[in-house]
Amino acid sequence: MAEKVIFAMYDDDDKLMDGAKHLVANDVKVSDVYSPMPLHGIDSIIGIEPTRLAITAFMYGITGVILAMIGIRYMMIIDWPMNIGGKPNFSLKENMLSFVPIFFEFTVLCAAHGMAITYLIRNKTLPGMPPRNPDPRTTDDKFVMEIKTSENTHIKESVLSKLIKDTGFLEIEEKSIV
C-alpha cells in the first residue's frame, strides 16, 4: 500500500487545536503542525517533547566561564603578570574581582551564541536552506496539520478520513510517498 501524507489546512488556530485534540483522542497520530506563529499548547496535544536548548545554553555558559578563567589566568597571572602601581597580579584568586566583568561577559557570549547556533542547526535553518513548509500560506494565515498513514496503520483509512473530516478543515491535500 502506498504511504500517504495528509495535509489538512485550517483557517483558524483554534479549529486546528480542537481538531488535533479530536484526532488524538481517537488515537490518531498527528505528526506535525505548520503555523505562522507559535501555537501555545500544541506540543502537549500532538506529543512533542520539550526542547532541551536551555540545557545546552547552560552548558555553553559553563564552558564560557571556564574558558575565560583559564585564558585570563594564563595571560594575567602566568604569562605576563602586570605590575600596576605596585599591585602585581599574584594569583587568580587574589585578582579575581577585577576579572569578574569579563568572566560574565564571556559567559553570556558563549551561552547566547552557542545556543543560537545549536538552534539554527537543530531547526535546519541555515543560510541557503530550501523552505520545507507544505504550503506557502502557512506563513501567512493558514494552519496545516500533517498526518502520515504510515504512523496510523492501526486505523482503517476510511475511519481516518472520517475523523479528519470531522475536524472541519478548509482544504485537504494528500501526497503519496513512493
Partner 1 sequence: MHKESDIRLPLILGDKSYKDITDDVIRPIEASPPKTWYILLMISIVIALWGIGCIIYLLGTGVGTWGLNKTVGWAWDITNFVWWVGIGHAGTLISAVLLLFRQKWRFAINRAAEAMTIFAVMMAGLFPLIHMGRLWLGYWVFPLPNQFGSLWVNFNSPLLWDVFAISTYFSVSLVFWYIGLIPDFATIRDRVSKPIFKRAYRVLSFGWTGDAKAWNRFEQVSLVLAGLATPLVFSVHSIVSFDFATSVIPGWHTTIFPPYFVSGAVFSGFAMVQTLMLVLRKAYKLEAYLHVKHVEYMNIVIIVTGSIVGVAYITELFVSWYSGVEYESYAFLNRATGPYWWSYWAMMTCNVISPQLFWFKRLRTSLMFSFFMSIIINIGMWFERFVIIVTSLHRDYVPSSWTYFHPTWVDIGVYMGTIGIFFTLYLLFSRYFPVLPIAELKTILKSSGKNYKEGYGKGKGYWDKHSGH
- Site membership for partner 1, residue 34 (CB under 8 A): yes
The one among 59, 112, 170, 172 contacting partner 1 by CB under 8 A: 112
CB-based contact 6:147 (threshold 8 Å): yes
Which segment (1-9, 94-102, 150-158, 161-169) binds partner 1 by CB under 8 A? 94-102
- Site membership for partner 1, residue 128 (CB under 8 A): yes
Distances in whole angstroms, Cα of residue 33 to Cα of each of 15, 57, 145 = 13, 26, 4
Gap between the Cα atoms of 143 and 138, Å rounded: 6
CA dihedral 42, 47, 49, 51 (to 10 degrees): -20
User: What is residue 74's DSSP assignment?
Assistant: I
- Site membership for partner 1, residue 88 (CB under 8 A): no
Distances in whole angstroms, Cα of residue 156 to Cα of each of 43, 66, 99 = 25, 57, 66
Is the CB of 41 or the CB of 157 nearer to partner 1?
A: 41
**Bridge partners, residue 143, by sequence:** 10
- Site membership for partner 1, residue 36 (CB under 8 A): yes
Cell numbers for 40, please give them.
Answer: 501555545
Minimum CB distance to partner 1, residue 156 (Å): 26
Q: Residues interacting with partner 1, by CB under 8 A? A: 13-14, 17-18, 32-43, 46, 48, 50-51, 53-54, 57, 71-72, 75-76, 79-80, 82, 84, 89, 95, 98-99, 101-102, 104-106, 108-109, 111-113, 115-116, 119-120, 122-133, 136-141
